Amino acid sequence: MKTSLLSNKTTLIVIIGWLLLYYVTGEISEILTPENSDISVVWFPAGVATTAFLCMHKRQWLQLLIGFIVLNLILNGFDSEQITLSLIYAALAVLSCIAIAWIVRRYAQRGDDLQLILLWLSATIIVSFADAVLFSISLYWLDNTSLNDIFWDGFIADITGNIFATTVIMGLINTHFKRVVPSFKINIVWGSIVFILLIISTILIFNDTAIQIYHSYFHHHRNTAKLSLLCIPILLAVTLSMLWGNRGGSIALLILATITIYYTRNQHGPFYLHGLFRHESLWLIQGYLTVISLLMVFLRVVARSTHRIDDTQGAYKPQHLVYQLNLDNGAIEWGNTDCSYPKADLTTLSDLRQIMESIHPDDREKLARHWEQEQAHTTLPIITFCLKDKEGRWWNIEDRGSVIFSHNKPVMIVGNWFILGEVS
């Protein structure tokens, strides 16, 4: 999951892009919400806002906050007679997204993908719960609306919207799909076949054609067959994710969401069950899509964790670089260069200025303090930061076991960089 890696782009264009995406997903959510619902039972903008706060620099958070609140008021039909309630709903919806992003960015350990994902998931559940409780109480107090109905609609909409939309967007802005590998063309061909099968099978399952074919040959275990058929799109989506990378997984999720929601709203498919209210069928769809999204996320973690395995020890082996930095003139020399890291990039990073230009803006001050000439201790503390190579890929790097020779002339630092992996 990327954090604040878009800050090198034109800020205004990026902010407008986030606001536009928020509005479009909000319109989609409003279309899907039943007319008699007090609040939206589907709310994809929650994931859009959370992703925006995760990806943008904190300096842009205020603009995003104001923009999202205004759009929220527009989407929900600004009512001058209930201005207090409208503002509370809009503010809580956006502030909960900020809270999730802040928790993830504050407590995530770089290089530990599993901890990052579990932190994001836990924060999403806890903050969404708090948001639903606060808004339910506010609506009950101001409008005397049933607490139970509002709470569950809001809670489920927040969680599912966050998990699904965040997973899709993070996968789409990820750069892994651009990587050229020997089997790239083969993966494209097989991925295209899987993509077509995914569309066909999902349509047949959710327009009830598949179950009708089954019923024409077999007359028992109809419900079991429906549940079994639901596994086919999941397997194909996972396969597409493995072949096409994170973007393939996001494309698969978008296809699944479009087809499943379309047919369920038209009273077809396994999730349209007699006796359920319309919003309850939407709950089932959101649960289905959320489970697939989480499966995609954990598959990404597993794939990244097993990306580099030591052939002899069978364990993860981080790439190790040794450097010698002259603090007087800023020159840096490299040793023990790992061949799996782009050597050309290391040869270009020959002085302190070039390194600082490659460091992520959020980490430059931290690394500058780490390499100050006046240090209280000879052994420097462990720090982590992000560095961008010439191809635009970001790497998680840990500086560990570094020593400063402050009494020497020139002042030197001999240290170690452990490349934990590419930022996902």
Predicted confidence (pLDDT) at residue 194 exceeds the cutoff of 90 = yes
Residue 4: the pLDDT is 46
The torsion angles phi and psi of 401, rounded to 5 degrees, stand at 70, 30
Structure tokens at 181: 């590998």
Name the pairing type of β-strands 403-405 and 383-388: unpaired
* Average of per-residue pLDDT across 214-230: 76
Give the whole-number percent of the chain exceeding pLDDT 70: 81
Please name the fold of domain 1-173.
Answer: Arp2/3 complex 21 kDa subunit ARPC3 (1.10.1760)
Higher pLDDT among residues 383 and 181, named by residue: 383
The amino acid occupying position 359 is I
d(CA 98, CA 73): 17
Query: CA distances (Å), 403 to each of 53, 218, 302, 381, 386, in order?
Result: 36, 73, 34, 9, 21
Which has the closest alpha carbon to 282: 271, 298, 295? 271
Dump pLDDT digits (tens) for 10-69. Answer: 788 889 999 999 999 999 988 887 777 667 788 899 999 999 999 888 888 999 999 999
Residue 214: the pLDDT is 78
d(CA 414, CA 424): 29
Contact 243, 190 (CB under 8 A): yes
Residue carrying structure tokens 């580099």: 308
Structure tokens at 48: 């859009």
Instruction: Report the CATH architecture of 320-422.
Output: 2-Layer Sandwich (3.30)
Contact 67, 20 (CB under 8 A): no
CATH 3.30.450.20 positions along the chain are 320-422
Residue carrying structure tokens 């992996």: 421
Residue 5 pLDDT grade (very low, low, confident, very high; cuts 50, 70, 90): very low
Dump pLDDT digits (tens) for 90-122. Answer: 899 999 999 999 999 888 876 677 888 899 999
Residue 246: the pLDDT is 84
* Average of per-residue pLDDT across 412-419: 87
Residue 376: the pLDDT is 67
Query: CA distances (Å), 325 to each of 48, 155, 250, 383, 414, in order?
Result: 42, 52, 42, 16, 6
Crossing angle between the packed helical segments 45-55 and 61-75, to the nearest 10 degrees: 170
Dump pLDDT digits (tens) for 253-306. Answer: 999 999 998 888 888 888 877 666 666 778 888 889 999 999 988 887 776 665
Predicted confidence (pLDDT) at residue 170 exceeds the cutoff of 80 = yes
Task: Please tell me the number of Cα atoms within 13 Å of 253 on its side-chain side.
Answer: 31
Structure tokens at 10: 């034109």
Contact 32, 262 (CB under 8 A): no
The amino acid occupying position 141 is W
Query: What is the DSSP code string of 127-176?
Result: HHHHHHHHHHHHHHHHH---HHHHHHHHHHHHHHHHHHHHHHHHHHS-SG
The residue count of the chain comes to: 424
Structure tokens at 26: 């909000």
Residue 232: the pLDDT is 93
CATH 1.10.1760 positions along the chain are 1-173
Q: Report how far Cα 112 is from the mean position of its chain's Cα atoms.
A: 15
Higher pLDDT among residues 402 and 311, named by residue: 402
